[in-house]
Amino acid sequence: MKNMKKTKWAVVCAALMAMVGFTSCLEGENSTISQASDLVKVSGMPGFYTFTSSGGYTINPTNLSSLGNFTLSNPYAIIYYSFDRSTLVEGFKSVDAQILQIVEVKSGPAYPFEAPEEGGNEPVYQVSNNANIAQPIYYDRYNLFLPVCYYCNYSSSMEDSELAEELASHSFTLYYDEEGSSTGEMRLQLCHDVTDSSVKRNYLNNNEYRHFDITSIIGNFESDFGELPNQIRVEFKQALSAEASSTTTGTITFDYGRYFEDSSNR
């Protein structure tokens, strides 16, 4: 894996985003080698990373030398890897794997209060909830991942540093809409901001997951309604064209309570 490198542009990872939790077998029906993708928590440092899945097992890279130039500055990532199924036993707690690709997941703040009246200074194209493309996912009760799609400033002539600067200029924030929430449904507002809104952005960056720690929001909802929400509804300012001459309110609704209503999962 000498040629493995960190993906420089999120859109080329859209297929990987859609395959979180995906596993396939390789080299015919008699092969014990499989490939999988997982949303993982990152531990360690460059050259010494390990990854923990939401299922609780640790993924130990066997190709650490290929990861030496990777610097992961956020706590979560999506990884694509291969492993030998014959080495696994019932109740396994770790798996040795060759890491094939890493997509770092950027984190945004989540606040337990209402969003500013003006919201973000840039709309969102969509937040996906499509099983064939990408859907909201959880690492655990408190960590939510939303697949956002938005317009960027991009051209094929841009240097890696310019691409990185453009991506870094986009931020996403979640807010708790207490008045809009009700027993069973927690409403959140997603705001998208860019550092320079005067820049023309006409390239669709498709389904980049963003991470939010919703610990304080869940705590406020439980305090307000005495229980966990059954569903989460996320609202956002939406524009379906790069010009954003007009915006509407986009929404997605997805399950929460059925995953975490058992107190043993809290």
Contact criterion met (CB below 8 Å) for 33 and 27 = yes
CA distances from 32 to 37, 78, 116, 128, 219 (A): 17, 23, 53, 34, 44
46/67 Cα distance (integer angstroms) = 7
Cα–Cα nearest to 119, from 193, 53, 46: 193
Could you list the pLDDT tens digit for every one of the 266 residues in the chain?
334 443 443 433 444 455 565 566 655 567 888 888 899 999 998 888 999 998 889 999 999 887 777 788 999 999 999 999 888 888 889 999 999 989 899 999 999 999 998 889 999 999 999 988 899 999 999 999 999 999 998 888 888 888 889 888 999 999 999 999 999 999 999 999 999 988 888 888 877 999 999 999 999 999 999 999 999 999 999 998 887 778 999 999 999 999 997 644 44
Could you tell me the pTM of the whole model?
0.87
pLDDT tens-digit readout, 35-58? 888 999 999 988 889 999 988 899
Q: What's the number of CA atoms in the CB half-sphere (13 Å) around residue 6?
A: 15
Q: Are 52 and 59 in contact (CB under 8 A)?
A: yes
Q: How far, in Å, are 16, 106, 128, 187, 265 from residue 254 at the CA level?
A: 21, 21, 11, 11, 19
How far apart CA 253 and CA 246 sit, in angstroms, is: 23
Which candidate, 39, 97, 95, places its Cα nearest to that of 64?
97
Contacts of 210 (CB under 8 A, 6+ apart): 105, 106, 107, 108, 145, 146, 148, 172
